């Protein structure tokens, strides 16, 4: 191999590494589901693609599944569903979530909720933050608990958009 060919190959490898770094840092990332808090929607060891780019241009919406760092240990990432938007009043009565006095229709939860958490309800979601909960309400550390709290938009890593593993469940995350 000639020196010029070798240098050309090194240059191409460096360009590919830069492109991969850019995409992984700013656009898409993969993550693995750890724990049962999102069952039945997501199962432990599911691998997801996270859209990190979307929230630069849009606001997160109720029902979207997001990834964010846990306040107690930022090296741990939590995966939860957005339930309450900034300024809304969240209440939980008899295992039902109410938003601004109206019951939230949820066809994705595993079983009736038994735990209200350790915050006081009704709870007003602060500006620029989101109230999140796991779909497996009785086995989820989420915004109902002070150690998680509401999630600032700037702390959201991304929107879980696609499941890539296991292959028999490959597709868009709903």
Residue 18, CA distances (Å) to 42, 53, 95 in order: 32, 17, 49
Annotated active-site residue 80? The verdict is yes
**Given the residues 37, 52, 140, 143, the one annotated as active site:** 37
**Given the residues 52, 80, 140, 143, the one annotated as active site:** 80
Annotated active-site residue 141? The verdict is no
Please enumerate in sequence order all residues whose Cβ is within 8 A of that of 53, keeping only pairs 6 or more positions apart, or say none.
26, 27, 28, 158
Burial 14-49 (b: 16+ CB within 10 A, else e): eeeeeeeeeeeeeeebebebebbbbbebbeeebebb
Query: Mind telling me the catalytic residues?
Result: 37, 80
């Amino acid at each position: 191999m000639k020196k010029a060919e070798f240098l050309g190959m090194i240059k191409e490898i460096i360009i590919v590494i830069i492109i991969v770094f850019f995409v992984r840092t700013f656009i898409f990332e993969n993550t693995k589901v750890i724990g049962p808090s999102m069952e039945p929607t997501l199962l432990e060891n599911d691998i997801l693609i996270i859209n990190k780019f979307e929230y630069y241009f849009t606001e997160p919406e109720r029902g979207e599944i997001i990834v964010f760092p846990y306040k107690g240990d930022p090296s741990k990432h939590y995966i939860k569903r957005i339930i309450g938007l900034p300024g809304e009043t969240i209440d939980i009565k008899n295992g039902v979530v109410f938003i601004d006095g109206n019951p939230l229709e949820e066809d994705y939860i595993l079983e009736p909720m038994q735990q209200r958490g350790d915050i006081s309800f009704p709870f007003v979601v602060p500006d620029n933050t989101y109230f999140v909960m796991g779909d497996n309400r009785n086995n989820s550390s989420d915004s109902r608990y002070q150690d998680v709290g509401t999630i600032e938009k700037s702390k959201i890593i991304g929107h879980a958009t696609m499941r890539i593993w296991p292959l028999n469940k490959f597709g868009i995350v709903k």
